[in-house]
Amino acid sequence: MSAILINGQSAEHISVLDRGFQYGDGVFETLRVSAGKPCHWAQHMARLSAGCQVLRISMPEPALLLSEAMSLCAGEVAAVLKIIITRGVGKRGYVPPAQAVPTRALSLSPAVVFPQMHYRDGVSVRVCDTRLAGNPTLAGIKHLNRLEQVLARAEWPEGEGSTQVAEGLMLDNNNNVIEGTMSNLFCVQEDEGGPVLKTPLLTHCGVKGITRENIINVAEAAGISVQETTLGLVDLYRSQELFLCNTLIGIWPVRQLEDQHFAVGPMTRRLSQALESLHD
């Protein structure tokens, strides 16, 4: 199963003059599809809309996107839906066309199945050499420029098995840990008042994940203290628990960061369960 709708039509190609191709002038979303429906639709639309606003691209009507998404997802037990919105076709040169007509591309791919041991025992994580540049304007949104992630992900080979590195952490140029190449990061630290859930501040770089937002919400609803804060590698090494999250993986406990080992702890287990029982 694999299907693509470009501007509502079944197609596989876009114009070479499309500014998404020319400049990465656009935004995207990756959604999990379950029981014929895209999950957490409203949150994905909110981030897409925030990204379009920052780039001053006129966002297609969410109702139109939803009807196209539903037609692709119909009958799919589990799949992945990617939505790309670009500014559309333009002439040569950076100047955005005054009358740009955005391009929308929705594509469906098979569900990704990750090894069960990633969830049970946790994953091994490395620290990437590639850094994330700071840009407060673009921080948080899911724009199409992902060269830093591409370079970071190229730092280690693909592979399977328990000893393989499953994800890499990325730091900014001030040595703050920001996120994984394709995921957000949380750590659990004991304070005088009890355990605190911490996640990096994403004011200068990083993608504000939908799963990150859901985890913060379920944690706060459960009375867990949550802090979005500046975190260095030393802070991670002295944490009791570490975990990664995104739309497709859910939560992966981290059992090893470089040479240091971590237990898969109670907070990670509790939040994984709470996240799984979030229906949307």
Q: What is the DSSP letter of 70?
A: H
253 vs 188: CA distance, rounded Å: 11
Site residues for ligand PLP, 211-240, by CB under 6 A, read 211-212
Element (H, E) at 43: helix 41-55
63 vs 80: CA distance, rounded Å: 19
Among 7, 22, 30, 227, binds ligand PLP (CB under 6 A): 30
Q: In the bound complex, what is the minimum distance in angstroms from residue 44's beta carbon to ligand PLP?
A: 7
Q: In the bound complex, what is the minimum distance in angstroms from residue 122's beta carbon to ligand PLP?
A: 18
User: Which residue among the candidates 68, 76, 142, 241 is catalytic per the annotation?
Assistant: 142
Kindly provide the residue ranges of all beta strands, DSSP E only, lying in 36-183, ordered along the sequence: 37-38, 78-86, 103-110, 123-127, 165-171, 177-180
User: Among this protein's residues, is 130 annotated catalytic?
Assistant: no
Q: Considering beta carbons, is residue 143 or 269 the nearer one to ligand PLP?
A: 143
Q: What is the DSSP letter of 133?
A: P
Among 85, 108, 207, 267, binds ligand PLP (CB under 6 A): 207
Tokens 């799984």, residue located: 276
Task: Give 139's contacts (C-beta < 8 A, 6+ positions apart).
Answer: 202, 203, 204, 205, 206
User: Among this protein's residues, is 181 annotated catalytic?
Assistant: no
User: Is residue 184 involved in binding ligand PLP (CB under 6 A)?
Assistant: yes
Give the x-and-dash track for 237-276 against ligand PLP (CB under 6 A): ---------xx-----------------------------
Q: In the bound complex, what is the minimum distance in angstroms from residue 91's beta carbon to ligand PLP?
A: 31
The footprint of ligand PLP (CB under 6 A) covers 30, 149, 179, 182-184, 207, 209-212, 246-247
